[in-house]
Structure 1
Amino acid sequence: MGGKYIVLLLVPVFFLAPLTANPALTTTTTCHRQIRVLKATLSPQDSSNMELFFFISSGSSSSSKKGVHANGKTDGKVVEAAAGDGPVLVELFSSQGCATSPAAELLLSRLGRGNFQLDTPFIVLAYHVDYWDYMGWKDPYGSSLSTVRQKAYVEALRLDTMFTPQVVVQGRAQCVGNDEDTLLSTISSAPRFPAPSFQANFQRPTSESLQVTLTGALRSKVDNNGVNVMVALYENGLVNDCPAGENRGKVLSNDFVVRKLEKLCTVKDISTKKTVSGTATFTLWDGFNSDRCALAVFVQNSSHQILGSQKFELPNDL
């Protein structure tokens, strides 16, 4: 069995002194709850390499600075989004099991409502990770796929740790999710790219699924290294009580929560005007309401940098 395998293990640790002596162990002082990353290379019998990463958490969750917490069928409806200078993609990694994430969620909700005077257009997405679920409250929107996505950014940005709340802007810069000044300046200074010129055709093949077909140009030249065109279905206005964990007794409000993320297609070596087409199908959740949902499309290269993004509101009668 060939190839490279990544295994993620979340292990609560109650004593750390023996670990810190290991030269393969790196640590960060970003927050009181530190995530230490241990990397070991194994040699299976088939001589292929296996990399094993241990993400180990310990201690208090509160931050000493900005509050970082480490780790039936319908007819098709066609929607066209305006083309032009593309928005900046702002991705929050958060958890209802993190005491410092609600402040970041509120900040991103205010950002989405237009409470800040920014000249830069943007799209906000919030991914709920699952690596704090063991601490007493299982995030109802948490996903291992969100954790994997955050880990990819940690590696691409050459960071030492995963933490919540974290914001990644255009796949190129990151900051603590509740650091308002740094967040706004990072968005304002982010590079921008032409927005794709997709048209979206929405259908409901079944009552439990949503299908979107996107056709248009990426409006950015793509070389042989290729890009992935990703489609995120997200939901606003989510409110729930939290009876346990670090946010025990609080009412939590979440917007821009990514409920589903699919790859539309992979594109290589095309011009800015060449037409691209693909279809993504989403399995819907109980209580799906199109009035609270929207779609974000973004182009991402192999270095995880965002090269263009576009947003679609869902038809009201979908």
Structure 2
Amino acid sequence: MAPRLFACFSRGSSSSERKTTADSATEEQRRAGPVVVELFSSQGCGTSTDAEDIATRLGLGEIVDVPVLVLAFHVDYWDYRGWKDPFGSSAWTVRQKAYVESMRLDTLYTPQIVVQGRDQCLGNEEGSIAAAVCAAPRFPSPTMQATFSKPSPMTLQVALSGPLRSKVDSAGANVMVALYQSGVVININKGENKGRLLANDYIVRRLEKLATVKDISMKKSVSGTITFTLWEGFNPVKCGLVIFIQNSSLHISGAQQLAIPDNL
């Protein structure tokens, strides 16, 4: 079956209403930024492979007609099945548990998709994912400027400064920065996916907090510096950064993607 592109339109209105709605939606999309989609996955999970493929296509804009930033968090709780996911982390399991608690779910599971920190669905159900992305609120992207440096061969330093373009109330929010890696291909020789060649994109390798902010206007500038510890084989061409604003309810209200210079 050919890939489908889901358009995000409202239904049940007259032609004039649809035109007005479409014009408003177009203007809103000019102001609004991307939707953050988090995939909780594992190379040791047999049902996560389809979800990884969907995540790749979602990030490439092949599923929905709104901009999406995908972040794939590989959890570690399936490692006991025989294949230890080299990208699995207990920190990502803790992050998933926080979503399970905030959404009052019964259990952890993979593959799971979380949209803007507010909604979730099964990670290999393309239609459900598309519907959740289309229904998600969108916010203006931060317009932060970045300066990159490598103080040492295994260290990446990023200085960031600029407005968040989202109002933050007295409850506060964290400005988070994820370093991800794409284009990973690996042979699996144990576990549920034994004998398969898996391709993974948008794998979160590092997640750091740039700042905690509260009571700020949309125009308020925020600045800070983050230092990432790198890994053997780090290739800036296959990596990128995602900045996102997340409050204590885990809701995301703005995100920005940054490329990493390939001449570092």
TM category (shorter chain) comes to: 0.7 to 0.9
1:263 aligns with 2:209: yes
DSSP-derived class of the 2:130 partner: helix
Deviations 1:197-255 (A, max 9, x none): 11111111111000111101111111111000000000000011110001011111100
State yes or no: 1:191 paired with 2:137.
yes
Aligned to 2:39: 92
The 3-state SS of whatever aligns with 2:80 is helix
2:101 is equivalent to residue 146 of structure 1: no
Letter in 2 for 1:104: A
TM superposition shift of 1:147: 0.3
More helix by share: 2
Deviations 1:31-89 (A, max 9, x none): xxxxxxxxxxxxxxxxxxxxxxxxxxxxxxxxxxxxxxxxxxxxxxxxxxxx9421000
Residue 284 of structure 1 pairs with residue 194 of structure 2: no
**Comparing both structures, which one devotes a greater share of its residues to strand?**
1
Alignment match, 2:57: 110
Q: Which residue number in structure 2 is paired with residue 231 of structure 1?
A: 177
The amino acid that maps onto 1:120 is: V
1:134 shift after superposition: 0.7
Cα-Cα RMSD: 1.0
Aligned partner of 1:309 among 245, 255, 258: 255
Deviation at 1:113, TM superposition (A): 2.3
Shift of 1:110: 1.5
1:218 aligns with 2:139: no
Q: Deviations along 1:279-312, whole A, 9 cap, x unmatched?
A: 1110000000000000000000000000100000
Q: Which residue of the partner structure matches residue 12 of structure 2?
A: none
Structure 1, unaligned runs of 5 or more: 1-82
The CA deviation at 1:115 is 2.1
Q: Which amino acid aligns with 2:44?
A: G
SS, match of residue 151 in structure 2: coil
1:7-54 CA distance string (max 9 Å, x none): xxxxxxxxxxxxxxxxxxxxxxxxxxxxxxxxxxxxxxxxxxxxxxxx
Structure 2: distance between partners of 1:300 and 1:144: 20
Number of residues of Structure 1 aligned to a counterpart in Structure 2: 235
Q: How does 1:1-318 map to 2 (within 5 A)?
A: 84-116=31-63, 118-318=64-264
Structure 2: gaps spanning 5 or more residues: 1-29
Instruction: Report the TM-score, using the length of structure 1 for normalisation.
Output: 0.73
- AA partner of residue 257 (structure 2): K
User: How many Å separate the matches in 2 of 1:316 and 1:86?
Assistant: 25
Q: What code does the residue aligned with 1:305 have?
A: H
CA contact (8 A) 2:61 2:67 kept: no
Aligned letter for 1:199?
Answer: Q
Q: Give the structure with higher Rg (CA).
A: 1
* Alignment partners' CA distance in 1, 2:161 and 2:184: 31
What is the letter of the counterpart of residue 92 of structure 1?
Answer: L
Structure 1 residue ranges (4+ consecutive) displaced by more than 4 angstroms after TM superposition: none
Amino acid across the alignment from 2:160 = L
Q: Which amino acid aligns with 1:210?
A: L
**Equivalent-residue separation in structure 1 for 2:191 and 2:151 (angstroms):** 39
Secondary structure (helix, strand or coil) at the match of 1:107 reads helix
